[in-house]
Structure 1
Amino acid sequence: MSAPAAVPLATHAAAGAPPRDRILATAARLFYSEGIHAVGMDRIVTEASTTRATLYRHFLGKEQLVLSYIQATDEQIRAFTSAALEGLDPREAVLAVAGALGDQLCAPGFRGCPFLNAAAEYPDLSDPVSRAIVAHRDWLRELVARLLAEAGDPEPAEDAADLMMLRDGAVMAAALGDADAVRASLARAVRHVLERAGVV
């Protein structure tokens, strides 16, 4: 449930972009498509057309680069979501977010949720990367709960938790199988939650 559309994450930067932007965009693309631990710093240096000295001038090490990737992804999603929901009443916003779930599953290049993917590689909840992942998911769950409450849902926290769980399961299922079939199944399940909540 990342936004009311497939969020265009910044995984590419123009050749003339500042070095930090090129490094972060390259890291985002490789981390998302191949996994964080599978990608070494030399690979990022090469594909970002920079030097190790430049990379380490902007990021003290890989852990800081990974944290920056998670934080930048979070910031992009928050900004995109805020802009997409602007001007919508609470019910319209809930339906827009719910409708976006399936859109994300079928987006080109979809390889699952970047936060769930990263969480699988950073299981220690005390790690700064894990804390950044949790912060994003807390924001998302609280956003959905607030929209549900404003739309008249008597149990917004419980229903937001249900929608998050449906979203997480659908993300994994779509990454492993028929995204269109998962999208249809998810739409039915989400509608049941929203009907029970009195939103639709």
Structure 2
Amino acid sequence: MVLDAQPSPPARERLLTAAGELFYTRGINATGIDAIVERAGVALATLYKHFGGKDRLVAAYLEERDRRWRVDWEAAIAAAPEQRVVAIFDALERWWVTEDRYRGCAQVDAAVEITDVDHPAIAAIARHKTHLRQRLTELASEAGAAEPEQIAADIVVIYEGTITALLLQTVPDPLQRARRLTAGLLLIDSRK
């Protein structure tokens, strides 16, 4: 009896998966396209067919991470009806414990590595960070914040610092500290 083999994912998906693994763990500049096509099990021409080259593959990798982050964050928001603003740290904690080798924010890593301001990944990074602040502004507004944009900006600073503290393990319990600081900001703002 012959069992049906599972079909392999489409080439584009395999390339994104391979790029995601390699760019995140090794870095963008340290990862050549030959390593990506080898890991994906596709021909070099397939990478060019789908992405046109490494630059657009980097942008697509960042867009895919952003898409997955947004799904996870929205799930955390839905699971925390009383603490919707603070749920960003619940989502971050899930990423922290599920990433094979946590290296911090892929968007920030890419921004550090990419020096060309016209690189397509720069726009992907900007969209990710803009969405982060806009969504936090919406959540702060829903929570009744008197100054939701200011609260969101403060939470972004706490969030970015928390990512660094997780990566470098510079302070104990950075996620709990971030939750406490964020809840405190909301409390102070509600007294205005």
Is TM (by shorter chain) over 0.5?
Answer: yes
TM-score (normalizing by structure 2): 0.83
* C-alpha separation in 1, matches of 2:156 and 2:132: 9
Larger relative contact order, structure 1 or 2 (CA cutoff 8 Å, min sep 6) = 1
After superposition, the Cα gap between the structure-2 partners of 1:179 and 1:100, relative to the gap in structure 1 and judged at 3 Å, is: farther
Mapping of 1:59-74 within 5 angstroms? 59-74=51-66
- TM-score normalised by L of structure 1: 0.80
125-134 or 43-52, which deviates more: 125-134
Identity of aligned residues (%): 34
How far apart, CA to CA, are the structure 2 residues paired with 1:78 and 1:186? Answer: 19
Q: State the 1:39 CA deviation.
A: 0.3
Give deviations 1:51-72, integer Å, cap 9, x for gaps. Answer: 1122222121100111111122
Match of 1:7 in 2: none
5+ residue gaps, structure 2, are 1-5
Corresponding residue number in structure 2 for 1:6? none
Q: Give the gaps of 5 or more residues in structure 1.
A: 1-13
C-alpha separation between the residues in 1 aligned to 2:187 and 2:90?
14
Q: Counterpart of 1:10?
A: none
Moved more, 54-63 or 36-45: 54-63
- Contact map agreement 1:173 1:182 (CA 8 A) in 2: yes
> Which structure would you say has the larger Rg?
2
Deviation at 1:191, TM superposition (A): 2.9
CA distance in 2, matches of 1:73, 1:121: 17
Q: Quote the Cα distance in structure 1 between the aligned partners of 2:16 and 2:148.
A: 36
Matched, 1:53 2:31: no
The equivalent of 2:141 in structure 1 is: 149
Distance 1:183-1:93 versus aligned 2 partners, 3 A rule: closer
